[in-house]
Amino acid sequence: MNIKDDIKNAVEVMKRGGVILYPTDTVWGIGCDATNAEAVARVYKIKQRDDSKALICLVDSDVRLQRYVRNVPEVAWDIMELSTKPTTVILDDAVNLAPNLIAPDGSIAMRITREAFSKELCYRFQKPIVSTSVNISGKPAAQNYRDISPELLEAVDYVCFARRQEHKPHTPSSIIRLQKDGKVEIIRD
């Protein structure tokens, strides 16, 4: 399957409220429409994860990020621009997202992806996409397609074809929390 059709299929599934598995700029991700509370609830259920633990969202651009976070601090742009590896930033004042995706304190974990497939997927979908590692909560993340358990492959509505043959090490993103008072906290390096 070509990449254009793969992305089109994934977008159609998410528009219908479905859940997908897809390669990202880090490990393989479980994804859905970040504005659809029912789809987000399904992701929590598939991962067997407590919904009090936040999920990451991917976007394709700084413009899109600003539609879902009320006030992005200047330091966030510097961190994302200067990072040498994929970096997720936890920002306050999330808006226009599924309520069960936003942390109790009003924050959301967002990352602008630069990897070709996930960036194009986000661009074509025109909304943030949930991006949580493909694994049961507490188990190792699937770095490559071949690491994904049959249980998880069967739990979703669509599995992307892109990068299925790839076999190389991938690591989760760095996570940095930016507080309203300007404090920067490294959650995961």
pLDDT tens-place values along the chain, 189 residues long? 899 999 999 999 999 999 999 999 999 999 999 999 999 999 999 999 887 778 999 999 999 999 999 989 888 998 888 898 999 999 999 999 999 999 999 999 999 999 999 999 999 999 999 999 999 998 999 999 999 999 999 999 999 999 999 998 888 899 999 887 778 888 888
pLDDT in tens, 105-146: 999 999 999 999 999 999 999 999 999 999 999 899 999 999
Cβ neighbors of 158 (< 8 A, separation 6 or more) are: 9, 10, 13, 18, 19, 20, 21
The pLDDT of residue 108: 96
The pLDDT of residue 141: 92
Question: How many angstroms separate the CA atoms of 169 and 186, rounded?
Answer: 23
What Cα–Cα distance (Å) separates residue 94 from each residue in 59, 70, 167? 14, 6, 35
- Check if the beta carbon of residue 5 is closer than 8 Å to that of residue 161: no
The pLDDT of residue 54: 83
- Check if the beta carbon of residue 59 is closer than 8 Å to that of residue 113: yes
Nearest to 156 by CA among 22, 36, 49: 22
How many Å from the N-terminal Cα to the C-terminal Cα in the chain? 36
Q: Which CATH number is associated with domain 3-188?
A: 3.90.870.10
Nearest to 27 by CA among 1, 56, 4: 56
Nearest to 28 by CA among 149, 131, 180: 131
Residue type, 20: I
